[in-house]
Structure 1
Amino acid sequence: MPTVPFIAIEGPIGIGKTSLAHKLSAQFNFHLLKEIVEENPFLGKFYDDIEEWSFQTEMFFLCNRFKQLEDIQQKYLSWNKAVVADYHISKNMIFARRTLPADKFDKYEQIYHILTKDMPVPNMMIYLHASLDTILNRIQQRGRDIEQNIKSSYLAQLADDYEAYMNEFEMLHPDIPVIRINGDEMDFVNYQDDLDTIIRQVQQQQEVLIQKRGTNL
């Protein structure tokens, strides 16, 4: 685990992960790591026909996220430079479990574990969650053409999957703090007070991290 802040922001599609990552990067002068989304050549086809294009879509995301994290480790974390990312690579398993048939999921899972066994693990997680209505509204507001065909039933399942995943994450990684942000109650894009609340929570966890570093020296 890195000894400098390595923050990963997670949550369902459209919840505001990238917006928050930008704001925290600017606030703390952390390097910003953004996931590759619209560059995925299979994504539009995936939203039209999930069963047909799920494996190609998930493999593209996995390989690109692996390369991004490899670069982050070499260029930033290894040099004690803090990073905030708008994703955690383990999200791949959330989507893969939901979209891949059993035979392809088994193959995918093997490749996933091979690629990620030595990847850096965040030492702080921010989990954004909200009701389906809020998620749908935010997807509509940002207006990505590629997302307009996403079925609301898929988004609802995905939100449930994320909740189960984060509950499991907290049990498996009790040493990694998780800051939970309810998107129905907080709008950090339009309200500075809400953003300031999140910033204070991050600062508190950074202080804990600094104390741990001092103890381990």
Structure 2
Amino acid sequence: MTSVPFIAIEGPIGVGKTSLAKKLSSQLDFQLLKEIVEENPFLGKFYDNIEAWSFQTEMFFLCNRIKQLEDIKVDYLNQNKAVIADYHILKNMIFAKRTLQSDKFEKYEKVYHILTADMPTPNIMIYLTASLDTIQKRIKMRNRDIEKNIKPSYLAQLITDYEDYMSEFEMMHPNIPVIRINGDETDFVQYQEDLHQITTIVDNHLKTFAGE
């Protein structure tokens, strides 16, 4: 785990990870790391036919996220510059377990562990949750063409998968605080007070991290 502040934000599709990362990056003056989504040439086909396009989609995401983290590590964390990311590399395993057939998942898992062996680990995790109804509304609101064919059943499965993943993460990394935010009750995009409450919580964790 890096000794420089490195915050990751996680949660299901459409829950508001990038919006929160942008706002906290501005508030805290941290370098922003945004995951590559729409640049994935397989993603639209993936939502049309998950079984046929899952391996290509997951491998593209893995390779690009590894490259991003390597750049962040060299250019910022190693230079004692704080970073906030709108994803955690471990999310790859959530999606891979859900979408890949067993033989392809075995291959993917081996590659994943090799490539992520020396990747920087965040020292604070923000976990955004929301109901299926809220997530569907936000996906519709942002109106991305590649997301128009996402099935509600797929989103519902991801919500459950993320809950399981975060419980496992907390067990595996008891020294990394997880800040849970309920997206059904909190709207940090429209309400400054909600954003202020989140920023205050993060600030308190950063003070603890810095030993203040």
* Fold match by TM threshold 0.5: yes
Structure 2, unaligned runs of 5 or more: none
Determine if the alignment matches structure 1 residue 23 to structure 2 residue 30: no
The code of the aligned residue for 1:124 comes to: I
Which secondary structure state, in structure 1, belongs to the residue aligned with residue 8 of structure 2? strand
Matched pairs, number: 212
Alpha-carbon deviations, 1:138-183, whole Å to 9, x = none?
0001111110100000000000000000011001100000000000
Alignment of 1:1-217 (within 5 A): 1-211=1-211
Structure 1, unaligned runs of 5 or more: none
The CA distance in 1 between the partners of 2:4 and 2:74, in whole Å, is: 14
Offset, 1:33: 0.2
Offset, 1:77: 0.2
Offset, 1:192: 0.6
TM-score (norm 1): 0.97
Which secondary structure state, in structure 1, belongs to the residue aligned with residue 37 of structure 2? coil
Which secondary structure state, in structure 2, belongs to the residue aligned with residue 174 of structure 1? coil
Alpha-carbon deviations, 1:104-161, whole Å to 9, x = none?
0000000000000100000000000010000000000111111010000000000000
Offset, 1:4: 1.6
The code of the aligned residue for 1:66 comes to: I
CA RMSD of aligned residues (A): 0.7
The CA distance in 2 between the partners of 1:142 and 1:40, in whole Å, is: 18
The CA distance in 2 between the partners of 1:42 and 1:151, in whole Å, is: 17
Which secondary structure state, in structure 2, belongs to the residue aligned with residue 158 of structure 1? helix
The CA distance in 1 between the partners of 2:55 and 2:151, in whole Å, is: 19
The CA distance in 2 between the partners of 1:91 and 1:28, in whole Å, is: 24
Q: Percent identity?
A: 72
